[in-house]
Amino acid sequence: MAELGDFQGMVKEAEAVNPWFTEREIRRSLHAICEGYLNESALNQWLGKYAISDERSHSIVGIVAAGNIPIVSFHDVLCALACNASVRIKLSHKDQPACRYVYRFIEREGLACDFDFSETGELTVADRFIVTGSDIALRDFKSRWPSTPVLARGHRNSVAVLFGNESETELLALGKDVFAYYGLGCRNVSKLFLPLGYKPDNLLQGWNESFSWVLEHPLYVRHLKYTQAFHTVMRTKGIFNGPVALVPSLATSSPIATLHVEFYSDLKKLNDRLVEDARRVQCICSGRDIPGFHTVRFGNSQLPGLLDYADGIDTMKFILET
Give tens-digit pLDDT for 134-179: 778 788 888 888 889 999 998 899 999 999 999 999 999 999 999 9
Domain with CATH 3.40.605.10 in the chain: 7-154
CB 214 within 8 A of CB 182: yes
Beta pairing, strands 60-64 & 281-286? unpaired
Give the pLDDT confidence of 49-63 residue by residue, as tens digits: 999 987 777 788 999
Q: What is the average pLDDT across 40-44? A: 94
User: Which one of 4-13, 34-43, 107-116 scores highest in mean pLDDT?
Assistant: 34-43
Q: What's the one-letter identity of residue 250?
A: L
The strand pairing partners of 195, in sequence order, are 264
The CATH fold assigned to 7-154 is: Aldehyde Dehydrogenase; Chain A, domain 1 (3.40.605)
pTM: 0.92
Nearest to 103 by CA among 58, 65, 129, 54: 65
What pLDDT sits at residue 259? 97
The CA distance from 194 to 153, in Å, is 29
Contact between 188 and 177 under an 8 Å Cβ cutoff? The reply is yes
pLDDT band (50, 70, 90) for residue 121: low
Which residue intervals of the chain bear CATH 3.40.309.10? Answer: 157-296
- Evaluate if residue 1 carries a pLDDT over 50: no
The CATH superfamily label for domain 157-296 reads Aldehyde Dehydrogenase; Chain A, domain 2 (3.40.309.10)
Handedness of CA 194, 199, 201, 202 (dihedral sign): negative
Supply the angle between the helices 74-82 and 23-37 in degrees, to the nearest 10: 30
Return the pLDDT at 119.
58
